[in-house]
């Protein structure tokens, strides 16, 4: 039996190879997974032209997945450095990589990225349009916008972010309700500007069915972008954000009518007490479609440490229903991240994702922690280091300060409670003052 997308297959009762792989990873029956995909509550972003993809699921009852952003800008366009970031992300088992390049030979890099990557690949075609078409934003035509989307789909991109909810109605809401940080979404701001300069509707909203037809042909998952995500805690959960979210819910249903898989993108910046309500609001308004969040960053005052402000919010968001976390690096708001920034961002978001999986009771999450705890009570540093989320850093720290007493660390030495309790419970004496 033929099918166009993973959702189409699921609705026809077909179990795809991707579903089998994912079901095993998620410790879920393949029939349960199929039902969740058919309902739109889980997606498997898997472009038909991505040959080496190791498929992953995003959504209900699945492990919280993470995304790594990278790509060049006009001011920093070293593609070799970006490829190092890519390899770093793959080695650290990030489930997704988004190429946000907006300058130069983006297609060459994108094709190389897709060819080498087992992780799912996402892009924002709007970023690429200005550079690839080499035209002023105002002069880009509707057909040209869609030609960029078509190219990304042909190349094998698994999911695309398109800010379809930034329509004329939403734009008016922004103008009538001034925000402290206006529109901070790069793609959203570009579309807002194009609409204002041309006095026209957002082409991706006006011709949404055309976008869906491209996605259906290649099984590209559409990530409905949050152009109105709050760029500071002051702007969180305001009229523009909610206006757009309602629109995204309507667009989700239209996509499902064509068997196109959908994710919803969310905030942004917001204080701790608003996160849970925002997760519930998205799930309700967008019919339980998977939710993909940037952060949320829980305070605005920590440039250089926003991987931490983001991880705090991300852990809470995912524990309250978010399914997919986009990492934030220490360089956020300051510059294009370097290779080390990328690593720091990945580690922070992986911690957040796992913390949320523990709270959600995801199969296998607690077992990892329990195995680490067993190694600690056994004072087995080799096993502890192997189990660490960053084994390289853990070993570097441990070996940089050698203890006097073997089998301990320099924090406690012979007073190590794990070592001493193990010996006392085994009926042995302990000595603290002897050499």
Annotated binding site for substrate: 69, 98, 127, 163, 185-187, 226-229, 265, 292
Strand segments (E) across 133-210: 159-162
E strand or H helix at 59: strand 58-59
Q: C-alpha angle 17/18/23, rounded to 5°?
A: 100
Annotated binding site: 69, 98, 127, 163, 185-187, 226-229, 265, 269, 292, 333, 409, 412, 416
From the CB of residue 58, how many other CB atoms can be counted at a distance below 10 Å?
28
Cis? peptide before 296, omega within 30° of 0: yes
Annotated binding site for [4Fe-4S] cluster: 409, 412, 416
**Can you read off the two tokens belonging to residue 70?**
């990278």
From the CB of residue 434, how many other CB atoms can be counted at a distance below 10 Å?
5
Strands 65-70 and 42-43: unpaired
User: Judging by beta carbons within 10 Å of its beta carbon (0-12, 13-18, 19+), is residue 39 exposed, middle or buried?
Assistant: middle
Annotated binding site for Zn(2+): 269, 333
Asked whether 255 and 296 are in contact (CB, 8 A), the reply is: no
From the CB of residue 247, how many other CB atoms can be counted at a distance below 10 Å?
20
């Amino acid at each position: 039996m033929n099918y166009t997308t993973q959702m189409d297959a699921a609705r026809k009762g077909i179990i795809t190879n991707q579903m089998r792989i994912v079901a095993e990873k998620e410790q879920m029956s393949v029939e349960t997974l199929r039902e969740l995909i058919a309902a739109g509550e889980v997606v498997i972003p898997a472009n038909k032209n991505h040959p080496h993809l190791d498929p992953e699921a995003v959504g209900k009852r699945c492990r919280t997945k993470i995304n790594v952003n990278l790509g060049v800008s006009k001011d920093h366009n070293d593609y070799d450095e970006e490829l190092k970031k890519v390899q770093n992300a793959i080695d650290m088992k990030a489930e997704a990589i988004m190429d946000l390049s907006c300058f130069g030979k983006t297609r060459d890099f994108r094709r190389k990225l897709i060819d080498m990557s087992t992780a799912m690949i996402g892009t924002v075609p709007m970023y690429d349009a200005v550079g690839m078409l080499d035209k002023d934003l105002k002069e880009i035509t509707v057909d040209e916008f869609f030609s960029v989307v078509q190219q990304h789909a042909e190349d094998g991109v698994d999911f695309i972010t398109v800010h379809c909810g930034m329509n004329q109605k939403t734009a008016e809401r922004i103008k009538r309700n001034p925000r402290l940080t206006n529109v901070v979404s790069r793609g959203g701001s570009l579309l807002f500007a194009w609409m204002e300069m041309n006095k026209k509707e957002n082409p991706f909203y006006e011709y949404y069915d055309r976008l869906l037809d491209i996605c259906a042909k290649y099984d590209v998952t559409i990530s409905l972008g949050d152009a109105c995500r709050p760029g500071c805690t002051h702007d969180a959960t305001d009229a523009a954000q909610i206006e757009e979210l309602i629109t995204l819910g309507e667009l989700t249903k239209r996509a499902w009518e064509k068997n196109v898989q959908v994710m919803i993108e969310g905030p942004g910046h917001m204080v701790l007490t608003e996160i849970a309500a925002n997760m519930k609001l998205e799930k309700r308004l967008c019919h339980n479609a998977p939710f993909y969040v940037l952060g949320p960053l829980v305070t605005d005052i920590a440039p250089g440490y926003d991987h931490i402000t983001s991880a705090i919010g991300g852990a809470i968001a995912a524990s309250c229903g978010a399914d997919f976390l986009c990492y934030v690096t220490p360089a956020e708001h300051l510059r294009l991240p370097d290779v080390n920034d990328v690593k720091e961002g990945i580690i922070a978001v992986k911690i957040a994702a796992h913390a949320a999986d523990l709270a959600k009771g995801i199969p296998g999450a607690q077992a990892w922690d329990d195995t680490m705890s067993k190694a600690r009570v056994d004072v087995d540093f080799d096993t502890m280091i192997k189990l660490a989320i960053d084994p390289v850093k853990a070993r570097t720290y441990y070996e940089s300060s050698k203890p006097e007493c073997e089998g301990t660390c320099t924090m406690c030495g012979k007073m190590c409670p794990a070592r001493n309790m193990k010996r006392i419970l085994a009926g042995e004496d302990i000595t603290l003052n002897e050499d």
